[in-house]
Amino acid sequence: MLPRIAVMGRPNVGKSTLFNRLAGRRIAIVDDTPGVTRDRKEVVARIAGRDVLLVDTAGLEEAAPDTIPGRMRASSEAALREADLVLFVVDVRVGLTPSDRSFAQWLRRHGRPVLVLANKAEGREGSARALEAYELGLGAPLIVSGEHGDGMGELHDEIRAALPPEPEEEEEDVAGADRPLRLAIVGRPNAGKSTLLNALLGEERMITGPEPGLTRDSVAVQWTDETGLPVRLVDTAGLRRRARVTQALEQMSTAATLAALKECEVAVLVVDAVGGMDEQDLRIARLAEREGRGIVIAFNKWDAVEERDAARRRLEDVLTASLAQLKGVAVVAISAATGRGVEKLMPTVREAYEVWNRRAPTGALNRWFERALERHAPPLVDGKRLKLRYATMPKARPPTIAIFGTRAEKMPEDYKRYLVNSFRDAFDMPGVPVRLSLRGTENPYAEE
């Protein structure tokens, strides 16, 4: 098991910048706005020649438990309880504040090993100001600059010395031999994405509440589901219509969500069942389809729906009329807040993943192709009939059919839809994107 290092401190002292610096790549969103980080973010990093689990936490604030800062602090306290080492970050430009001193006392009471990082200490003046951090009583401060990388070598050495010794022989991680399923939870703000992730994990891992837009960054969590198989769960910030996204911070949140969607294998689209599936939900579903991801729709807040039969019919009508490219997409009615129906979600995700990975044998594929052409002959284009010769399946993830023939690249859209739907029915591939690759052959005797 990897040692855990928690990066902690009050808001806007540069924790996420240091986290990115130690991780070796930009993972956490960084902005001058205080309190950007709300949920703890974890990543495996190589520090001083040793793999560790690095944890970025929300800024520590004194606040009532039911407020957003109070919920952020509860999440940071959970990270502290699990940590083997704490990196306590202070801002030398501002100097020590009463909050810094208060949280230093709080850390001492918990008895975890602590390294004090005097951050933003560029130049001689910064080094002189860093000496004030001795007053915290947590040992000699390390003078660093997360933004410029100053002091990173000494920090690595101190981390190596502060961590518990490595075990002489580490047992083989059998579960680690299986590559985890990459699953992203996406949807509009306040649809219940973070509540769903907490329900799957069985713990309050993400900050939740009635306020829309609580999640600002994509947060990945390693998890083992009930079948014992590994899953990489990613909770994402809610996606609003592009016209409404004006602030730079929300633009970064949106970019992180889109990156998570591109990296996942299956996307769970969380839809508020009370309001039904609206145009923004359809945009997100189409975006996942364009990226070629497997898709499952989680119809959330089902416990609050009064006329359930009518709600289901409305959803089916919307999917049929506006999402024909994902014909047969799986829908699971759940209540993430109460946990009802959540147990059905992962088996449905596994089924969608299996379909997304499925290949059709070449012989069976061409028998289907011949029957499809017999049932509906290729249309005329510019007065000439398309001559389609054979089909192959060069790849799955998502299923992709390559069709060869004279002028195949001129195939009309309606005939493409016919072939895709026929393929879905023949090989039982509902609800996943199906790609057509049209490869025409030129007539060498045709006049130019």
CA 233 – CA 182 distance, rounded (Å)? 6
Fold of 4-162: Rossmann fold (3.40.50)
DSSP string computed for 178-232: SPPEEEEEEESTTSSHHHHHHHHHTS--S---SSTT---S-EEEEEE-TTS-EEE
Per-residue pLDDT tens over the stretch 194-248: 999 999 999 888 767 666 666 766 788 888 988 888 999 998 887 876 655 555 6
pLDDT value at residue 26: 76
Q: Is-contact 36 252, C-beta < 8 A?
A: no
The DSSP bridge partners found for residue 142 are 117
- Residue linked to tokens 């985890």: 180
CATH tag, 175-357? 3.40.50.300
pLDDT at 441 > cutoff 70: no
pLDDT at 349 > cutoff 50: yes
The whole-number average pLDDT for the span 318-345 is: 93
Q: Give the least confident one: 27-31, 94-98, 384-388, 391-395.
A: 27-31
CATH of region 362-441, choose from 2.40.30.110, 3.90.600.10, 3.30.300.20, 2.40.50.140: 3.30.300.20
CA 312 – CA 343 distance, rounded (Å)? 20
Confidence of residue 392 (pLDDT cuts 50, 70, 90): very high
Each domain of the chain, given as residue ranges in start order, spans 4-162, 175-357, 362-441
pLDDT value at residue 420: 93
Per-residue pLDDT tens over the stretch 137-194: 999 999 999 888 888 999 999 998 998 887 654 444 444 446 899 999 999 988 999 9
pLDDT at 84 > cutoff 90: yes
Identical fold for domains 4-162 and 175-357, yes or no, is yes
Report helix, strand or coil for 340: strand
Q: Is-contact 121 142, C-beta < 8 A?
A: no
